A and B are shown apart, each in its own frame.
Chain A
Amino acid sequence: MSTYYVTVNGKQLTVRPGTDGSVSLDGKEHIHKVRQVSTTEFSVLIGTRQVRVVASADDEGFDVIAGDFRGRVTVESERGRLLRRYARSTGESGARLEVHAPMPAMVVKLEVKVGDEVRTGQPLIVLEAMKMENELLASSPGRVKAIYATAGKPVEKGELLLLLE
């Protein structure tokens, strides 16, 4: 039986599909009867409770609406997780935190400089896209190791802007 690690809006679940339509979630057995309606649409019966689910994949995971839940779901197989752990352990030592551009944008302002100590939630870089200025915030505390972004220059989605350590 394969095991999958699924995160639902940041919360991790261990999912083991059974051979009989049942599914084990975090070691607890549930019966989920799933009907796929189209490529993106599903109907799930949990007992008699019906949940409509729509899911659409992108590079990093899935955009999902399930009943009143809306959010991100990522799926990782056991093998994928092992590979990722291995890659991490052979990589550079010390925690690294890369800040990437979440969208194509213009760099308006750098709020920090190399060597600055930052705390969680502190603004790092101001980007402008869709007529609006947006602050990229530090998601963990650290020290600014390198800055690759330049004020006044455009950046592509996913471009590395800043490195924390």
Chain B
Amino acid sequence: MSVRPIRKILIANRGEIALRVIRTCREMGIRTVSVYSAADRTSPHVLAADEALFIGPSPSRESYLHAGRLLGAASASGADALHPGYGFLSENADFARRVRDAGLVFVGPSPETIASMGDKTAARALASAAGVPTVPGTPGAVTGEAEAAGFCTRHGYPVLVKAAAGGGGKGMRIVRDESGLLPSLRAAASEARAAFGDERVYIEKYIEDPRHVEVQILADSHGNTVHLGERECSIQRRHQKVVEESPSVIVDEALRRRMGETAVMVARACGYENAGTVEFLVDRDRNFYFLEMNTRLQVEHPVTELRTGLDLVALQIRIAAGEDLPFTQEGVRFSGHAIECRICAEDTENNFLPSTGRITHLRAPAGPGIRDDRGVEEGDEVGVYYDPMMAKLIAWGGTRAEAIARLVRALREYEILGVRTNIPLCLFVLTHPLFVSGDISTHFINKYFSPGTLSANVPLEEGAAAAVCALIAREMEEHGSPALPAPSGHWRGRRSDFLR
């Protein structure tokens, strides 16, 4: 493939990731085209772009998920490439194919690769065939009780019985010993029949307290594939990552090499080109199992950027243009420790309900080692149409302790009012002794967090200060000046003596 210069990119996304891509394009001298829905006419990703095109009403399926309108915008703008960001249509093989057929460069892997990794069961089969370890499981639905018992004897307890047609935890049972197997099989089958009209179940080895560790890879169109180390993303809530870091405390140099080589193997097996992520589950004994491959830029890519000093978006664009990777595996240098928190509009104290509204006040953190990738500004409306993630706050430190200290400091500096945020949850995690010691698993938040732990420690003086200021703010609002008692002669304009 020859080098095909990219001069103008349409970003088929919104929010922080659209801004992230725009920033790199600016540095590379590439013109940027943003697309926007009705709700986004003045959103930051539009205000930052060189060109902007309307693509439809606010609901995603009529705008950011509407392939036809995105392709129409791309051809109208004369862009030579399209960057899909993450989410929306970024892992839609049909969309990638239509972009290619329209004569544009899709900044990502080929539609064939996206399709082969998109079917999660097929992806595991492909990885397994390439010699990559996967979580041991029955090859298909269990045909009888004898087969089930045989599997469990071979691989040991605990096991997980799962509905073949499943999802959402329905028809799922953890079995800890032999006596529980048959009752669980029957219960899971009947639950599966009720929920999905399909009573088939399969069995998988249950990984206790697993950790989620993923490996970033980069592959060019000339056969060069490298990995950029791991990211640990075990801190999750309802399968959504909240805190991500690199390196993982459980990955040493030898394991990093093995996991990296395995990730490269997966990438080669599916003919991967561009940036991608291979996700693994890691058990207590540091065995790792292939979960799936994400065929796009990840939300948490800045963690890897801070640790390697590379710009992943720039590399994506250069690879898409047909250039060689500018370094080999030996040329990848790691330095220090990076941690990211996802800042979301949700009410931590109230069952994490999404919080909508206008951002009435926003003051972002700054200072040493801090990066704030944000998609909203003060005055912006956080609506119901899109993902509640407003920003990613990432800290780099020479050591993990320094990175944690910086991130905690920056989270405390971060002021967002008008919508509730999950900053209290992020602070809870980062200051928890078990997180600090690195003793975490994907169950961490479920196990240790309850909203009560937050309200229980409101510092008295801060609470009182909050009360007094709210009182003044209310008086200002109702009367235009604080109607608090003021001795004569001490009244200064609109300020009462209460204000000093």
Contacts and interface: CB of A to CB of B under 8 A. Distances in A.
Asked if A and B are interacting partners, one says: yes
Interface of A: 1-2, 4, 6, 8-11, 13, 15, 17-21, 23, 25, 30, 32-36, 39-42, 44-46, 49, 51, 53-58, 61-71, 73-75, 102-105, 129-132, 134-135, 137, 157
Interface string B483-500: 011110000000101111
B208 interface: no
Given A34-B498, A58-B418, A103 B466 contact: no
- The 10 A-B residue pairs with the shortest CB-CB distance, nearest first, are A66-B466, A56-B417, A69-B462, A33-B500, A56-B360, A6-B467, A73-B470, A130-B354, A53-B469, A44-B465
B120 interface: no
Contacts of B461: 46, 49, 51, 67
A129 B383 CA distance: 9
A17 B495 CA distance: 14
Contacts of B350: 102
Interface string B211-250: 0000000000000000000000000001000000000000
A61 B470 CA distance: 9
B369 to A, nearest CB: 21
A8 B466 contact: yes
Contact of B361 (A19, A54, A157): A54
B351 interface: yes
Q: Which of A10, A62, A104, A135 neighbours the largest number of chain B CB atoms within 10 Å of its CB?
A: A62
Given A63-B420, A103-B354, A130 B470 contact: no
A122 B498 CA distance: 45
Nearest to B240: A132
A21 B354 CA distance: 39
B360 A25 contact: no
Q: Which of A15, A30, A42, A49 neighbours the largest number of chain B CB atoms within 10 Å of its CB?
A: A42
Given A10-B455, A73-B470, A65 B353 contact: no
B485 A34 contact: no
Q: Which of B352, B388, B469, B497 neighbours the largest number of chain A CB atoms within 10 Å of its CB?
A: B469
Interface stretch (B92-100, B254-262, B285-293, B471-479): B471-479
Interface residues of B, number: 56
23 contacts: A13-B464, A15-B471, A21-B500, A34-B468, A34-B472, A34-B499, A35-B500, A36-B499, A40-B473, A44-B468, A45-B500, A54-B417, A56-B418, A57-B473, A57-B474, A63-B420, A68-B459, A68-B462, A103-B354, A104-B356, A130-B385, A130-B386, A132-B238
Contacts of A134: 351-354
Contact of A9 (B349, B363, B418, B497): B349
A63 B462 contact: no
Contacts of B349: 9, 71
A36 B458 contact: no
